């Protein structure tokens, strides 16, 4: 999906009922709110004891099974559309695009040679596993460009009489609108290379925005001012009473303690004033 995410350990009051702890995956949406798109719950033996789910260990003794449950929500589709889309419509990463390449024949007068060239390119791409479609409708080329850009097709290939004279085609990227002339004999290799470049570029843009949105706050007043347009990183002792007071004061939700270095750092809990080595993320959420 080319979506950068934050992985956090949810606070105790926000974990899955019956779980020992919950890890959640959040994405940053364009309005600076976060959207939970997946969770993983460590259930320990809480449910296996209830349902008598056991296994035999190396010593032959019966032990209760440790369990997990996890899943990705269909919200990830909403995140995909919102994070990568622009004013011209969808911008889909090639890996998930239903149609990865659309071929537009540019017809002037006799169309036979152009159509045959488009069909050869289509067959070459299909042989490499590319999901490709020739738009042979009667619409003008400009209308076709607009429609397929709206649908987010990652690459457009244009072939007209002038291209055929040079034994080439024009490839247009949906993410950058960059055009390049490519010899027909290397079109499939070029398409696969561009797929990787498009995925990397979409992820890079979204990751830069996510990284820049996370800011350090020392006080609840500062967090309240910044939470409407940022994800606030603030010290937290981990106690429920302090956490709930922080949420009420800031008007946002504690996502939890994020994974990795971003969740660590010396500071003072802004509620109880105790020293802590944990950093929590607070944001407006959907």
Count how many domains the chain has. Answer: 3
Q: Are residues 22 and 67 in the same domain?
A: yes
Q: Classify residue 42: in a domain, yes or no.
A: yes
pLDDT score at 167: 94
Q: Is residue 18 part of a domain?
A: yes
**Residue range 263-274, pLDDT digits in tens:** 999 999 999 999
Within-domain flag for 208:
no
Helix (H, G, I), strand (E, B) or coil at 251: coil
- In this predicted structure, what is the pLDDT of residue 32? 92
**Which of 66, 84, 102 is the endpoint of a domain?**
84
**Residue 118 is assigned to a structural domain of this protein:** yes
Mean pLDDT value of segment 151-165: 95
Q: Do 22 and 77 share a domain, yes or no? A: yes
Q: How far apart are CA 103 and CA 4, in angstroms?
A: 31
Based on the fold, state whether residues 109 and 60 are members of the same structural domain.
no
Final residue in a domain of this structure, among 142, 171, 202: 202
Q: What CATH number corresponds to the domain at position 175?
A: 3.40.50.800
198 plus 218 within the same structural domain = no
Do 197 and 223 belong to one domain? no
Q: What is the pLDDT of residue 52?
A: 95
pLDDT in tens, 165-204: 999 999 999 999 999 999 999 999 999 999 999 999 999 9
Mean of all residue pLDDT scores within the chain:
95
Which of 38, 62, 84 is a domain's end point? 84
In this structure, the answer to whether residues 196 and 99 fall within a common structural domain is yes
- pLDDT number for residue 109: 72
pLDDT attached to residue 275: 96
Structural domain of 79:
6-84
Is a pLDDT exceeding 80 seen at residue 62? Answer: yes
User: Interhelix angle for 187-213 vs 75-84, to 10°?
Assistant: 100
Percent of the chain whose predicted confidence (pLDDT) is above 70: 100
The upper half-sphere exposure of residue 213, i.e. CA atoms within 13 Å in the direction of its Cβ, equals: 26
């Amino acid at each position: 999906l080319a979506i950068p995410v934050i992985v956090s350990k949810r606070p105790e009051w926000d974990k899955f009922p019956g779980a020992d702890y919950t890890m959640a995956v959040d994405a940053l949406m364009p309005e600076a709110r976060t959207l939970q798109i997946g969770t993983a719950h460590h259930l320990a033996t809480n449910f296996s004891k209830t349902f008598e789910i056991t296994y035999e260990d190396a010593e032959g003794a019966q032990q209760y099974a440790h369990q997990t449950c996890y899943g990705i929500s269909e919200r990830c589709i909403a995140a995909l559309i919102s994070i990568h889309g622009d004013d011209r419509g969808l911008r889909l990463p090639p890996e998930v695009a239903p149609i990865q390449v659309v071929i537009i024949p540019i017809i002037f007068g006799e169309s036979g040679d152009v159509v045959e060239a488009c069909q050869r390119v289509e067959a070459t791409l299909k042989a490499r596993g590319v999901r490709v479609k020739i738009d042979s409708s009667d619409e003008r080329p400009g209308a076709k460009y607009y429609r397929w850009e709206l649908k987010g097709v990652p690459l457009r290939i244009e072939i007209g009489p002038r291209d055929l004279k040079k034994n080439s085609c024009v490839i247009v990227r949906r993410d950058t609108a960059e055009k390049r002339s490519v010899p027909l004999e290397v079109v499939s290799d070029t398409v696969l290379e561009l797929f990787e470049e498009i995925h990397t570029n979409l992820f890079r843009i979204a990751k830069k925005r996510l990284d820049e949105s996370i800011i350090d706050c020392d006080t609840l007043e500062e967090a309240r001012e910044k939470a409407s347009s940022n994800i606030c990183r603030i010290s937290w002792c981990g106690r429920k009473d302090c956490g709930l007071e922080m949420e009420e004061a800031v008007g946002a939700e504690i996502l939890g303690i994020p994974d990795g270095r971003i969740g660590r750092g010396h500071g003072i809990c802004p509620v109880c004033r105790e020293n802590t080595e944990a950093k929590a993320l607070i944001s407006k959420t959907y």
